[in-house]
Amino acid sequence: MNNFNICRFGKTFHWYLSVIFYPWLMWTIGYALVTFFGEWLFWYFHKGQSSEYIIDSIAGFFAVFIVIGLAVGVSQIFSDINKNARREAFLMLPASNIEKYLSAVIFVTVIWTFCTFLSFAVGDTARMIFRSLTYGEEWVSGIPELLDHMTPRFNDTSSFSYNMMERTLLAVIILWVHSAYVLGGTLLRKYSFILTSMVIILVVALFGRVLMYFEISIFQTKWEDNVCIDASVGAMAYVLVVVLPLLACFNYWASYHIFKGFQLITNKWTNYDFFKR
What is the rounded CA–CA span in Å between residue 1 and residue 197? 35
Residues 118 and 159 in one domain: no
Residues 134 and 172 in one domain: no
Q: Which of 248, 249, 250, 270 is nearest to 261 (CA)?
A: 270
Q: Which of 41, 25, 19 is nearest to 122 (CA)?
A: 25
Q: What is the pLDDT of residue 277?
A: 45
Residues 140 and 18 in one domain: yes
Q: What is the pLDDT of residue 182?
A: 96
Domain boundary among 151, 180, 202: 151
Which tens digits make up the pLDDT trace of 95-128?
A: 899 999 999 999 999 999 999 999 999 999 999 9
Q: What is the pLDDT of residue 275?
A: 59
Residues 52 and 162 in one domain: no
Residues 147 and 161 in one domain: no
Residues 75 and 170 in one domain: no
Residues 135 and 178 in one domain: no
Which residues does the chain have with pLDDT short of 50? 277
Residues 1 and 129 in one domain: yes
Q: How many CB atoms lie within 10 A of CB 216?
A: 12
Domain boundary among 151, 174, 198: 151
Question: Which structural domain range is residue 37 located in?
Answer: 1-151
Q: Which of 152, 165, 151 is nearest to 220 (CA)?
A: 165
Are the C-beta atoms of residues 30 and 123 closer than 8 Å to each other? no
Tell how strand 219-224 and strand 227-233 pair up. Answer: antiparallel
Domain boundary among 136, 151, 166: 151
Residues 6+ away with beta carbon under 8 Å from 143: 120, 121, 124
Residues 144 and 218 in one domain: no
Residues 260 and 161 in one domain: yes
Q: What is the pLDDT of residue 109?
A: 94
Count of domains observed in the chain: 2
Residues 126 and 260 in one domain: no
Q: In sequence order, what are the beta bridge partners of 224? A: 227
Q: In angstroms, how far is the first alpha carbon of the chain from the final one? A: 25
Residues 224 and 146 in one domain: no
